[in-house]
Amino acid sequence: MKKIALAIAAGAMFAGAALAAPDWSKVPQRKMTLFYPGQSSLEWVMNKPDHSAVPDIVDKKRSCAKCHEGDAQEIGDKIVAGKPVGSSKTVLEPTPPAGKVGAIPVMFQAAHDGSKIYFRFEWVPPKTGTKKLDAKNEVKLTMMFDGGGTVDGAELNGCWATCHNDLRSMKDAKDDKKTKYIKNGDLASGKFMDLIQYRSGEKTPVDGHVAEARHMEGGKALLKAEGKKEGNKWIVTFERTLAGGVKGDHAITADKVYNFGFAIHEDYTNARFHYVSLGYQFGLDKPNPGVKSYIDVQKQ
Ligand code: HEC
């Protein structure tokens, strides 16, 4: 009798564990090309003499992804090599890192189960160099998302809303500690980017936010941030509650569309020396077939 009860309990536990993560083989993959942005700050991309697209962005609400999904690889190749870009022929990388590739294709997946949302990222790391800016972490993967249209411009530019000329390692840096912020960012009114991060060298998931400044703690919604090398690939997964609700955690609800972007610091880098995605959107169980930059996160 006792044995049977134990077996049932073990079976229930096993089923529980199997349910905890989605069956990724059933979740559609979306390829996203992350490119090397150098010093292409919000100020640079929104300055017409530098970037002729500004009227299209402002007046026609064209997103970065709309124009650049196709040429992200080329943009990264030019910037990382220190070549002049934009209408103003600006060198956006004054110190080109030797041997660094311009872009990396990442396979992105997302699913939810009614109480949690799961994200999965898979990519083949490019050849690594010898310089270690962050000796502790070979890889950091950081995702940011707003509260469903709460950050001005994020529906077009994703993470660029947080990237400025006066940040550390950027063009007008005066303070080597200054990190991402949102102009007029405000936690209380929801005008912030929720930030979740995986670090390969540290085991704890990082759950923060970016408002008037970047805060790398305070959130409680990120339950797991895991990564592993499988063959020649890196695979990183996040598991997060939908409810959120604590400081710097946006609630993810079915009635909204969330703007997001993500970045990968590979090869032990930090600051601007990363690869970034263009801005994308996701919603829960809401197909939006006309919009290429939109991901329908389906219940598993
Ligand atoms: C309407 C299409 C369009 C949109 C929208 C757009 N761009 Fe561009 N972008 C261009 C064109 C065209 C160039 C080439 C230089 C120029 O004309 O200024 C360019 C150049 C660039 C460059 C320099 C690389 C190069 O090859 O010159 C970067 C970086 C860039 N864009 C980033 C962005 C970001 C970030 C956004 C969103 C905030 C964005 N672009 C939105 C069309 C667009």
Q: Please state the atom number of ligand 1 nearest to the C-alpha of residue 279.
A: 37
Q: What gap in Å lies between CA 47 and CA 70, rounded to an integer? A: 22
Assign 8 a pLDDT band (cuts: 50, 70, 90): very low
Residue with CA at minimum distance from ligand 1 atom 6: 64
Distance of CA 57 to the CA centre of its chain: 21
Q: Please, are residues 193 and 146 in contact by the beta-carbon 8 Å criterion?
A: yes
Q: What gap in Å lies between CA 197 and CA 209, rounded to an integer? A: 10
Percent of the residues in the chain that have a pLDDT greater than 90, as a whole number: 83
Residue with CA at minimum distance from ligand 1 atom 10: 53
Q: What gap in Å lies between CA 162 and CA 154, rounded to an integer? A: 9
Pocket test for ligand 1, best of 51, 59, 83 (most atoms within 8 A of CB): 51
What was the pLDDT predicted at 13? 46
CA-to-CA separations, 165 to 105, 168, 293, in angstroms, rounded: 26, 8, 26
What was the pLDDT predicted at 20? 52
Q: Which of 282, 287, 55, 256 shows the shortest CA–CA distance to 150?
A: 256
What was the pLDDT predicted at 11? 43
Residue 21 reports pLDDT greater than 90: no
CB atoms near residue 89 (< 10 Å): 9
Predicted confidence (pLDDT) per residue in 261-289, tens digit: 999 999 999 899 999 999 999 999 999 99
Residues with CB under 6 A from ligand 1: 40, 45, 51-53, 56-57, 62, 64, 66-68, 75, 78, 85-87, 156-157, 160
